[in-house]
Structure 1
């Protein structure tokens, strides 16, 4: 149907934006996605279609099964778009939603386009396979990695023995596009909060979770916290194993596990215990 055709085009465009090596193609795909998303938001505000659906619902049709559910969800989605509001408020919600869509696309695009080149010596990359080192060698005892390239990042995080190397590439990857994206993140959070408030929701989480099984943000959070409590004993057991591995390898009886250690010691434990 039409929805499938639209999603197919959109998904292909997203793929091009995220994976093309041609910067011009990525830029064109990004602009197309922004236009598509703005158009998609605008579909919710076809007042002529809404009036017809609303009039039909007001006639109290005797529906069952899928037909009943379709009407209920269609009315719900119109309410979530703000069609029940007065025109000035409705137009404002539409504008804010389009602004939010553009900002989130720009946020993701900034990360996709960000590049961070890092140079290491052979000693700093101790533990990495020779086949990988050959690919990134740029001169005598110089190896150039890209923190933004997942393949480079994961190889270092899983196999580089020097902790400082793992810490460096981990930090640089997490800082990709931060100059552009920190202001954008603030904009996105403010837009979400404003939209939720204007539509009558306490939080953005309540708005997003309404159409999910949880139904609201509080239930979703309680589920996650309950899951965390159940997994905590197992996590602590595994954390102790990783910490023991680090203390044994470094010779430091007081060593503690850091964020950039996780992949490395998970991989080491897998090799020692399960290979």
Structure 2
């Protein structure tokens, strides 16, 4: 998941250092934000300065408007706002101080409301509209800027503009509340050791205990992996699953219902039949019908695969329990998938973690990226961080030695921290301002080494990081991951391939000579195991995307009832007293009417992988991909980017082979 948000070094009590003032090297990736008590003042002054500059633009005579100057001024205003919005956006999700998180959220909402104010300025809109771009980059930035004005309602009647602003501000506030309710989830479960039979001893040894000696289990992702994949007692898996799917609770269901209402309000104000029609106009898909047609083809192809896979897992459960009529439930899925991986493919999670220890795996990831894209990575211990677990790095061009960017890793779970995995953009690239980008990888991994799923997640999210920090756009507005939403996942999905290919795995021993040599047999078995479950996985993705389209086209007014209606038609049905939508943060976090994009973008991701053929470590193709895809951000339309890189029209065959488990593994050995 990519998040247009940010931060970086949080040093309480210091003043905010503008990005433009940062030195070229050394502390180029550093940001400092004020203490929580100072944030309101800094927020007000930042907005005031931007309002003054925007006011000057609004008064510029139309006859004097020139695209180059207009875009330069606009870029400077936007990056000035980002210098605050970026740090506070990520601080709101990751900082250990609750008071600072709360102050950051309050300012982020004010900055968002200010966006709604100036994007509804008729005077500003008229000046942007009058500008004539001199080259494709200027024309694309102007076109996308006009889209943003249109999306915010500049063309509506005055009363409708005010109503639209109110709706957008309400949605932003609700989204922050929704995220906080999941982030601050405090629920824990107590289990006896017998109830957690099968759970790894290393996990149990680290667990806290209550006064009765029972093990206390939270609801973070390492907890879910430990229990749902390993607990042999079905009742324990069920109990954990039910609690896990109730994160956010009734409060978030009410918030989601209100968000859906506001979506409907916006659709009505803009004269659209539904919210999806409003949103999709500026996506690659274009129309609701295109999304529905795509999802229909997905489910048609994966349904028989899902049916076959679930039949195999159900047979395993019945054999293990001795119950010929045992039903297969959601809390069984990860457990029996792991059991199948062990028994059929001989993939032991403990063996995988031992093969991929954290530090060595990160070094390998950097080495692969450096070789592929012509880079040099250096740890930078001088950059201040917001938690002791956070690490900072600088990136240089391998040929010229030029400093390019910085990034941060915040890998492990803690109280009050964002609960999923995402790349947060901290600072956008802008060659016009000689501005270098910064991004942060935020995850909730185990410290004991990477599981197979976590390894792919690591490469996926680092694909987002590279998309951000290798950006070379002229202006910040379309830098990095600021691309069409149904393309944004493609570079990250593509990079998952490098987590499993022999050509990249060959480099592991070079970065860690003391590590256990890569077991080519284990890697081959992991790839076989990965292919099993593709039908189940993408049938589930279809459920999520279909639910999103339901809420954004024909909602009933009760999000849980809509979820139930869709899930109960799936092969495993709906589980009473669960409420998955209460923690489905994508919907209120910017992916409303866009969740289908995870699969839509995978079409392009799988196609782009094919450009490397049997050698994904070919640096010549990597250099072309860096130049044509990663450096250009959204300044070139996504479809054109893909076709220029491939040298042909995009094709969906590799995608459908992938999601049905038919795509062939690389033939080369280690």
Q: TM-score, normalised by structure 2?
A: 0.38
The answer as to 2:251 corresponding to 1:180 is: yes
Task: Answer whether contact 2:241 2:331 (CA < 8 A) is retained.
Answer: yes
Which is further off, 180-189 or 26-35?
Answer: 26-35
Aligned counterpart in structure 2 of residue 155 of structure 1, from 219, 222, 226: 226
Residue of structure 2 equivalent to 1:13: 88
Task: Answer whether contact 1:122 1:141 (CA < 8 A) is retained.
Answer: no
Residue of structure 1 equivalent to 2:110: 35
Count of residue pairs the alignment pairs up = 270
The answer as to 2:170 corresponding to 1:95 is: no
Aligned equivalents of 1:248, 1:254: Cα separation in 2: 10
Gaps of 5+ in 1: none
Residue of structure 1 equivalent to 2:554: none
Aligned equivalents of 1:23, 1:79: Cα separation in 2: 37
With over 3 angstroms needed to count, the CA separation of the structure-2 counterparts of 1:67 and 1:12, relative to structure 1, is closer
- Deviation for aligned residue 1:116: 0.3
- Deviation for aligned residue 1:120: 0.4
- Deviation for aligned residue 1:37: 2.2
- Deviation for aligned residue 1:17: 2.6
CA deviation vs aligned residue, 1:154-198 (integer Å, no higher than 9, x gap): 211111111111111111122123132122111101001110121
SS across alignment from 1:45? coil
CA deviation vs aligned residue, 1:34-86 (integer Å, no higher than 9, x gap): 223222333312332112223x16xxx59774444444333333222211111
- Deviation for aligned residue 1:10: 3.9
Aligned equivalents of 2:140, 2:232: Cα separation in 1: 57
SS across alignment from 1:89? helix
With over 3 angstroms needed to count, the CA separation of the structure-2 counterparts of 1:14 and 1:75, relative to structure 1, is closer
Aligned equivalents of 2:143, 2:264: Cα separation in 1: 26
Matches within 5 A, 1:64-213: 65-138=136-209, 141-147=213-219, 149-213=220-284
Aligned equivalents of 2:86, 2:194: Cα separation in 1: 43
Residue of structure 1 equivalent to 2:99: 24
Aligned equivalents of 2:111, 2:248: Cα separation in 1: 24
With over 3 angstroms needed to count, the CA separation of the structure-2 counterparts of 1:33 and 1:67, relative to structure 1, is closer
The answer as to 2:316 corresponding to 1:245 is: yes
Gaps of 5+ in 2: 1-74, 348-670
SS across alignment from 2:277? helix
Aligned equivalents of 1:39, 1:163: Cα separation in 2: 51
Task: Answer whether contact 2:281 2:287 (CA < 8 A) is retained.
Answer: yes
Higher normalized helix content (fraction of residues): 1
Task: Answer whether contact 2:118 2:124 (CA < 8 A) is retained.
Answer: no
CA RMSD of aligned residues (A): 2.3
Task: Answer whether contact 1:126 1:160 (CA < 8 A) is retained.
Answer: yes
- Deviation for aligned residue 1:106: 1.0
Task: Answer whether contact 1:41 1:97 (CA < 8 A) is retained.
Answer: yes
Aligned counterpart in structure 2 of residue 226 of structure 1, from 271, 290, 297: 297
Task: Answer whether contact 1:197 1:203 (CA < 8 A) is retained.
Answer: yes
SS across alignment from 2:224? helix
CA deviation vs aligned residue, 1:179-236 (integer Å, no higher than 9, x gap): 3212211110100111012112211112222211110222112211211111112111
- Deviation for aligned residue 1:4: 5.8
The answer as to 2:125 corresponding to 1:46 is: no
Residue of structure 2 equivalent to 1:214: 285
- Deviation for aligned residue 1:14: 3.5
Aligned equivalents of 1:173, 1:105: Cα separation in 2: 20
Aligned equivalents of 2:82, 2:284: Cα separation in 1: 23
- Deviation for aligned residue 1:5: 6.5
Aligned equivalents of 2:213, 2:302: Cα separation in 1: 44
With over 3 angstroms needed to count, the CA separation of the structure-2 counterparts of 1:242 and 1:8, relative to structure 1, is farther
With over 3 angstroms needed to count, the CA separation of the structure-2 counterparts of 1:249 and 1:26, relative to structure 1, is farther
SS across alignment from 1:119? strand
Which is further off, 127-136 or 25-34?
Answer: 25-34
- Deviation for aligned residue 1:9: 4.9
With over 3 angstroms needed to count, the CA separation of the structure-2 counterparts of 1:24 and 1:196, relative to structure 1, is same
- Deviation for aligned residue 1:8: 6.6
SS across alignment from 2:285? coil
- Deviation for aligned residue 1:127: 0.5
Aligned equivalents of 1:252, 1:122: Cα separation in 2: 25
